[in-house]
Amino acid sequence: MKYLARNLVTAAARNAAPCFSQAASIGLGARMCARVIQPAGTIRTLTTTMPMRVNGSSDSDLLHTLRDEADYETKQAAEEGEPEFIQAFMNKTGFKIKTKTGEQKVTMTKQFGSETITISFDVGEILNAENPIANFETYRENDSGDVQKEAEINADDAPEDFAIGFTATISKPNTPVLFLELESNEGEVGVNHMRFLSNKDVSDISGMDLEWARQKAYCGPLFGQLSDDLKENIDAFLAERNIDTGLTLFMQDYIEHKEQGEYLNWLRKFKSFVEA
């Protein structure tokens, strides 16, 4: 590159003398001559810069906190490992659990003779707990502008039991499907509605169409108004299929476990969003 630069300067110098004499003869100044002696191969250099990414002034603090929270939750999850109660419940009852990260719905299925039993519940049911978030403090600013602690809730104060609304579907070949809307409360299974749906309604449609089919079907009698013998027999019918206190306790534990995992997933997504 240095050799090439010297050649260009030399060539320019050689062309300069004729140019000056020609300019003098026609009355032009050295200014025009300077334009003539510019080497033909000279390339003009353009400077470009990438557009500056504009973020909010609080983004860095938020990102730092999200990273700390995600690291802490990841470490806690690694130390605790996969809880044993999940596999123990599946071994005992025969239920298989199906759920996806990022989704609240949990489905459990099993075979009972010729029947296919499906239990469905939602992680959002944890909001039914009186204090779904433990270990927090609330503060309020008084009239003088001083901040004072208003309340404090510890983990020991949070209730171990919370109500869960869930459904059970029991199907057999060539018969209507028994669809139950149930609720667990203090370890007991309560029956809200017992409907019968056609096999076509359950197998061929989903979403709002399935919900509409459920709403159209007769919801069944009020369970509390049934005879004692019939209620006891229905309770025994459900308990034999593991729709009982053991199921309600498992759902509570599983909801808390999955909610913790979803929280960690939420932190990671939030962190990636701020970093983008």
pLDDT in tens, 171-207: 999 899 999 999 998 889 999 999 998 865 565 545 5
CA neighbours closer than 13 Å in the CB half-sphere of residue 60: 2
- 38-47, 84-93, 159-168, 261-270: least confidently modelled range: 38-47
In degrees rounded to 5, what are phi and psi of residue 250? -65, -45
- Give the pLDDT score at 128: 81
Mean pLDDT over 227-252 rounds to: 96
What is the value of pTM for the model shown?
Answer: 0.69
Say whether pLDDT at 44 is over 80. Answer: no
Measured at the CA of 99, the angle between CA 177 and CA 97, to 5 degrees, comes to: 65
pLDDT at 271 over 90: yes
Mean pLDDT computed over 144-170: 69
Cβ 20 vs Cβ 36: under 8 Å: no
Mean pLDDT of the chain: 77
Q: What share of the chain is helix, strand, coil (3-state, %, to 5)?
A: 50, 20, 30
Identify the DSSP state of 132: S
- In this predicted structure, what is the pLDDT of residue 57? 83
115-122 vs 147-153, strand pairing mode: unpaired
Between 170 and 11, name the one with better pLDDT: 170
The predicted structure's pLDDT at residue 22: 43
Higher-confidence residue of 209 and 250: namely 250
15, burial (CB in 10 Å: exposed 0-12, middle 13-18, buried 19+): middle
Rounded to the nearest angstrom, the gap between the alpha carbon of residue 82 and the centroid of all alpha carbons in its chain is: 20
Q: Which residue has the higher pLDDT, 217 or 259?
A: 259
Q: Is the pLDDT of residue 64 over 50?
A: yes
Cβ-contact 109, 93 below 8 angstroms: no
Q: What is the mean pLDDT of residues 60-79?
A: 93
Q: Which of 136, 159, 121 is nearest to 259 (CA)?
A: 121
Can you give the pLDDT at residue 3?
Answer: 39
Q: Name which of 78, 82, 60 is nearest 70 in CA terms.
A: 78
